[in-house]
Amino acid sequence: MTYTLTTPLYYVNDKPHLGSAYTTLACDALARFQRLKGEEVVLITGCDEHGQKIQRTAEAAGLSPQAHCDRISAEYHQLWQQWQISNDRFIRTSDPRHRRIVHEFFGRVEANGDVVEGRQQGWYCVACEEFKDDPAGALDPQCPVHQRSLEWRDEVNLFFRLSRYQEQIEALIAQPEFIQPASRRREVQNFVAQGLRDFSISRVNLPWGIPVPGHDGHTFYVWFDALLGYLTALLESQGDGETSEAGLGELSQRGWPAQVHVIGKDILRFHAVYWPAMLLSAGLELPKQVFGHGFLTREGQKMGKSIGNVLDPEALLERCGADAVRWYLLRDIPFGDDGDFQQQRFVDLVNNDLANTIGNMLNRTSAMARRWFEGTVPPAGAAQNADHPLAQAANAAIALVIPNLETLDFRGAAEASLQLAIAANGFLNTQAPWSVMKKEGNQDQVASDLYAVLEAARLVALLLGPLVPDLSARMLEQLAQAPLNSGPNQTNSIPWLQQLQWGRLAVGSPLPEPAPVMARLELDGPL
RNA sequence: GGCUCGGUAGCUCAGCUGGUUAGAGCGUGGGAUUCAUAACCCCAAGGUCGGGAGUUCAAGUCUCCCCCGAGCCA
């Protein structure tokens, strides 16, 4: 079965911010994990490019909407490459293929009697792309979210008959695993319990959008078309000579339904309520899970242009490297909760966990093994037994990492991996091979102890593969092991789960000259 | 205004269906050690579990009220 997962399709109103990077990075870790387990994975990301806001932003910049979208989505594309995001697809909703899918989808919905005309009158926020409830007779009503003036609209729009799906949606979100984390489920349930109202799916007088077939002058409401991007992404030509005209009928062979939509908590309603109803209407399967993670603040403050405290993901990557940032965000912030980016803590954790605990463990052990055992992995001796303390620690770590990654508990996975490294360091200190070695006739003991720690290091590297792939590769290189393949369409000649078995490190294989696998972060000045 | 989710050591958080001296990591202080990236290992200090009342033999853990923060709906 295909494991399909999605990031949101990011709105190209502005250049990428750290929040988008956070979501994407988490998805990348999950995708890599699933690939390592041997699943066929489709990680979808991309950009949402329609709507009035985009049209106006483009105008303000003196660009055509398409040129503006080309520019911003290229930035996203490039950023994900720099972050080594292993997305299998990158879909843009201004892609002509997408228009075709939207039309097909709309055809199904309309044929099902779920599209009706209605007059919509009220105050509209362009930033939200939403009608607001009547703001009690103010002269210049403001959007409570965006603090900007609302615009009066009076137009005939097409509505999707969401109200027909009340019961089905209630049943869906009653399933405990559908909305994650569970703490956000009640909120959505309360919203649905108030009664679902039809929502408009078209706009008039908005050229920058996908035209609604059979309804001149209407373009699709940006959300209606954006969500469908997930489907278009799956129907992309797979480059094996087939014609690229796959339609909705082929979705089930292309990886639909998604196993999980990973999103920010702000768009939970669209994904957990509107989207499933749309899919039901079109006769398509529903995603298995919607995971709404929290938001990032910085040093306790909301990030924003007006405060001037925005952390630019590109700059962050350049100064600190992908491993450091990935580790900090995934290891320190419970995925699902809001989190606070604190520079001191960032530096402390990266240095302690990655450089000191993990990196130094490998470094010190490798140095000893090379010195006393002719540059090779020493004979395992007693260390190959499954009841060796480090073998047991390793199995305990593995038994935590896998289920934690399965449920997007990256923090738990990181901690369990780290725990193995801590155990290995502790073992080394109690065994003290450096002093045992000074006495004659203890070679075997030292060999066995060093082997055990090297083997533990190998397993730490393997467990870290999904979270910090580069560091994992560097560690494996130090152990003269092949790096893990966890990118798109990659497989490993020896499956990951098999590589995770204790004792596979080959005795006698040469150890490269030790070089720190993780440099300590030394930041001069604020990020 | 209604609702949701939080408020546990300086910081980030664990604490399941109520039950021995409330835990971890970071930070801080001390010790030990020298294989190693001034790294590792060990130990310690630090909490009246937001406040108040109640239920109970027993409450961080249940009930009610209040305060603070984030958010959803109106």
Task: Give tens-digit pLDDT for A188-228.
Answer: 998 999 999 999 999 998 999 999 999 999 999 999 999 99
Closest among A126, A20, A16 to A72, alpha carbons compared: A16
The closest nt to A191, taking CA to C1', is B73
Task: Report pLDDT for A131.
Answer: 78
Q: How far is the CA of A422 from the C1' of B23 (A)?
A: 18
Name the residue closest to B72, CA to C1'. Answer: A187
Name the residue closest to B11, CA to C1'. Answer: A345
What pTM does this model have? 0.94
Closest among A347, A313, A311 to A82, alpha carbons compared: A313
Task: Report pLDDT for A128.
Answer: 74
- For the segment A317-343, the average pLDDT, to the nearest whole number, is 91
pLDDT tens per residue, range A120-144:
887 887 777 777 765 555 566 777 6
Task: Report pLDDT for A374.
Answer: 94
Give the DSSP H/E element, type plus range, for residue A66. Answer: helix A65-82
Please answer whether residues A257 and A300 qualify as being in contact, where contact means their C-beta atoms are separated by less than 8 angstroms: no
**How big is chain A, counted in residues?**
527
Q: Which of A37-46, A81-90, A147-156 has the lowest mean pLDDT?
A: A147-156
pLDDT tens per residue, range A242-288:
555 789 999 999 999 999 999 999 999 999 999 999 999 999 999 99
The share of chain A scoring above pLDDT 70, in percent, equals 96
Task: Report pLDDT for A239.
Answer: 58
Q: Which of the nucleotides in strand B have any atom less than 7 Å away from a protein CB atom?
A: 2-6, 11-14, 25-27, 33-37, 39-42, 70-74
C-alpha–C-alpha distance, residues A35 and A75, integer Å? 26
The closest nt to A333, taking CA to C1', is B12
Task: Report pLDDT for A134.
Answer: 57
Hey, which of A81-95, A171-185, A510-524 has the most confident mean pLDDT?
A: A81-95
Beta-bridge mates of residue A131: A124
**Does A89 have pLDDT greater than 90?**
yes
- For the segment A313-327, the average pLDDT, to the nearest whole number, is 93
Q: How far is the CA of A413 from the C1' of B18 (A)?
A: 30
Task: Report pLDDT for A356.
Answer: 95
Q: How far is the CA of A390 from the C1' of B36 (A)?
A: 19
Please answer whether residues A363 and A513 qualify as being in contact, where contact means their C-beta atoms are separated by less than 8 angstroms: no
Looking at residue A513, the DSSP 8-state letter turns out to be P
Could you tell me the pLDDT band of residue A176, with boundaries at 50, 70 and 90?
A: confident
- For the segment A418-433, the average pLDDT, to the nearest whole number, is 94
Give the DSSP H/E element, type plus range, for residue A36. Answer: helix A18-36
- For the segment A446-463, the average pLDDT, to the nearest whole number, is 97
Structure tokens at A407: 């449920």
Task: Report pLDDT for A139.
Answer: 62
Phi, psi of A475 (to 5 degrees): -65, -45
Please answer whether residues A143 and A185 qualify as being in contact, where contact means their C-beta atoms are separated by less than 8 angstroms: no
**Does A308 have pLDDT greater than 90?**
no
- For the segment A30-53, the average pLDDT, to the nearest whole number, is 96
Mention every residue, 6+ apart, whose C-beta is less than 8 A from residue A352: none
Please answer whether residues A460 and A478 qualify as being in contact, where contact means their C-beta atoms are separated by less than 8 angstroms: no
Q: How far is the CA of A400 from the C1' of B42 (A)?
A: 26
Task: Report pLDDT for A319.
Answer: 92
Closest among A185, A369, A265 to A8, alpha carbons compared: A265
Report which residue type is found at A509.
Answer: S
Q: How far is the CA of A81 from the C1' of B7 (A)?
A: 40
Tell me the three-class secondary structure of A121-144, residue by residue: EEEEECCCCEEECCCCCCCCCECC
- Higher pLDDT among residues A511 and A127, named by residue: A511
Strand order, beta sheet including A89-92 = A89-92, A40-48, A2-11, A260-264, A290-293, A179-180
CB burial of residue A13 (10 Å; 0-12, 13-18, 19+): middle
* Arithmetic mean of pLDDT over chain A: 91
Q: How far is the CA of A443 from the C1' of B39 (A)?
A: 25
Mention every residue, 6+ apart, whose C-beta is less than 8 A from residue A83: A21, A24, A25, A28, A313, A317, A322
Task: Report pLDDT for A451.
Answer: 97
- Higher pLDDT among residues A135 and A445, named by residue: A445
Task: Report pLDDT for A144.
Answer: 66
**Does A429 have pLDDT greater than 70?**
yes
Tell me the torsion sign for CA atoms A414, A416, A417, A418.
positive
Structure tokens at A457: 């290091």
Report which residue type is found at A320.
Answer: C
- For the segment A476-498, the average pLDDT, to the nearest whole number, is 94
Give the DSSP H/E element, type plus range, for residue A116. Answer: strand A115-125
**Does A323 have pLDDT greater than 60?**
yes
Task: Report pLDDT for A243.
Answer: 54
